[in-house]
Structure 1
């Protein structure tokens, strides 16, 4: 019998030998199945990712988030920052990226995220400390191979312990053992379906703001309400997804999910190819919107959902609806504006939607 422990007993690089060996060995798996998670469990994520200026600038440059307050020290000081800050989209993507190996690397649909709240400004050089708590686990009635898990994740400054950002997200997670399905095909507990929903009466008129300041949005909203209209518009820019966006940016945030970088594993998947990290798609769409407004600070996001795959070669565009203006929120030179944003592809198919509240500079 061959002594496999001897260094020269076999040549593993020999093609026939290697294929035989590969068929016999077990795979050391990454990530966790649905059964691993229990309500109330707290998970401390090991990677202590440090926010970097290079990573921040690469994220902003590639996603078209070109706000000079995140590039130029003089503009950062004018905006009230202590130094060049980390962009909130980069911060959020890094906090979520380091959770992937522990929470969702096994795959499954990213159903949505809500209660995204930015508590403190983060700066390059900040080491992140990220924890997640299991909020809820439940069965998927339509997909017996999956369960549904909701986590609350919190990103802190490891040195000071201050909370930088927090959010709640929900994913479908593969089960180790499928459960019996009722055969109804219901999706009420999964991603909401709009296929059978009646189309509501749409306003006959849509109003576009004259500019991007708080007053522009407030005046447009008042004009729309007086005329039974809505404030809604699309943004001209589009960004085509290339490998740097689809594979490069998520890996830079330690997002190890195979669906973003392993084309072999994704070849037989429903998408047929690697897909964009949801936070990249989201950031591109928000960049389109921010380029048409005088954003001062990001406040919070609600009801973020991802509706369809975004793959290599898809182009992401943006649409915005203005929902509310609050002149009493924030410093005197700003006001809070609540938007609904929709990202859509070249086929005009929605791929992301969410509600966003930001402080916008006054005239």
Structure 2
């Protein structure tokens, strides 16, 4: 008798345009999750580190790190969207819509908004808009991602290609919902760790975040399990030894969080990731690789919803085994050092 109780995951042919998927399992976020996230990345932003600091500027208490929220919601989607993925290709139109606090319970849904078979006939690209909801049913996060997924049968006919029209960037008018009305006038630069505020940053400015962080095998697997991300390529060395790279691939979101944590040195008052405009995993990262990062200020903007705050649109590039003092843009390969991540996002900071 064949056992059909296990989940093989969805292949490209299983997705339908307009399909809505409710993902298991709801997750109550705890202070322990936040502490482990801090231990993994060393993030130091004051608002997420201190109840006292967060309350002083208008939060109920210290919120959960924005990217921890992103990873938890992302992890919910993996068993249904990307269990059979070859690669996660990119992100767009990401909105952080409401603060998340320890004790909140997050769940996720995804809508298939695009499908396109690749020319090799072996894979296809699936576009989904995923939404994270809290226990009240309020949306806390919404973003689009696209992922290359294997076909179950290479001979199966392709559906009509549909690629969604996505914005280049989230508009400044749509920023600010993901934090309460912040009293920037009581912001304490000494406690936040930086004297540089919104007015000190200019379009075109480049910042080398200086520090590097070497990734160990146990760290990236622990992080990915923290998010309940079940993608096979991150865990099974027996299987991956026979694969394209011969070893486990580090979850791309791990690189995003490393780059964000490293950016504190230079962007210490950029306390809130308000939106994700785009992102691209340029090249893989493996254990024993050292991550560096540098950022370019793409745009500065006022935030209508937050009079005491300003917004910076930032393009952060993370590199593997290449310090960023010369602001490198050369893309890494599996063997050669270089850029492994390009992440385009809005942050908020006091004026």
Instruction: Decide: shared fold, TM above 0.5.
Output: yes
Q: CA RMSD in A?
A: 2.3
2:101 aligned to which of 123, 138, 157: 123
Q: Check the 8 A contact 2:313/2:346 in 1, yes or no.
A: yes
Match of 1:163 in 2: 139
Residue 358 in structure 1 maps to residue 344 in structure 2: no
Matches within 5 A, 1:283-294: 283-293=257-267, 294=269
Distance in 2 between residues matched to 1:328 and 1:72, nearest whole Å: 24
Q: Check the 8 A contact 1:245/1:276 in 2, yes or no.
A: no
1:144-174 Cα offsets, whole Å, 9 max, x none, are: 21111011000000x2111000100000000
1:310 aligned to which of 280, 285, 292: 285
Q: Check the 8 A contact 1:152/1:169 in 2, yes or no.
A: yes
1:27–1:262 distance in 2 versus 1, CA, 3 Å: farther
Distance in 1 between residues matched to 2:245 and 2:319, nearest whole Å: 16
Match of 1:17 in 2: none
Distance in 2 between residues matched to 1:297 and 1:311, nearest whole Å: 28
**Equivalent residues, number:** 301
1:290–1:330 distance in 2 versus 1, CA, 3 Å: farther
Match of 1:75 in 2: 53
Residue 258 in structure 1 maps to residue 258 in structure 2: no
1:304-327 Cα offsets, whole Å, 9 max, x none, are: 110111111111111100111113
1:241–1:107 distance in 2 versus 1, CA, 3 Å: same
- Relative to the length of structure 1, the TM-score reads 0.78
Distance in 2 between residues matched to 1:297 and 1:289, nearest whole Å: 12
- Relative to the length of structure 2, the TM-score reads 0.80
Q: Check the 8 A contact 2:46/2:271 in 1, yes or no.
A: no
Runs of 4+ in structure 1 displaced over 3 angstroms? 24-29, 327-330
Match of 1:57 in 2: 35
Match of 1:151 in 2: 128
Match of 2:77 in 1: 99
1:284 aligns to what SS in structure 2?
helix
1:98–1:25 distance in 2 versus 1, CA, 3 Å: closer
Between the two structures, name the one with larger relative contact order (CA 8 Å, sep ≥ 6). Answer: 2
Q: Check the 8 A contact 2:209/2:264 in 1, yes or no.
A: no
1:264–1:91 distance in 2 versus 1, CA, 3 Å: same
1:81–1:335 distance in 2 versus 1, CA, 3 Å: same
Task: Extract unaligned runs of 5+ from structure 2.
Answer: 158-162, 164-193, 323-336
1:333 aligned to which of 308, 311, 319: 308
Task: Extract unaligned runs of 5+ from structure 1.
Answer: 6-23, 182-188, 190-209, 222-229
- The Cα of 1:278 is off from its aligned counterpart by 1.3
1:316 aligns to what SS in structure 2?
strand
- The Cα of 1:26 is off from its aligned counterpart by 9.2
2:272 aligned to which of 283, 297, 318: 297
Match of 2:200 in 1: 216
Distance in 2 between residues matched to 1:179 and 1:150, nearest whole Å: 22
**More deviation in 75-84 or 274-283?**
75-84
Distance in 1 between residues matched to 2:213 and 2:140, nearest whole Å: 29
1:267 aligned to which of 219, 238, 241: 241
Match of 1:323 in 2: 298
Distance in 2 between residues matched to 1:234 and 1:27, nearest whole Å: 51
Q: Check the 8 A contact 1:211/1:292 in 2, yes or no.
A: no
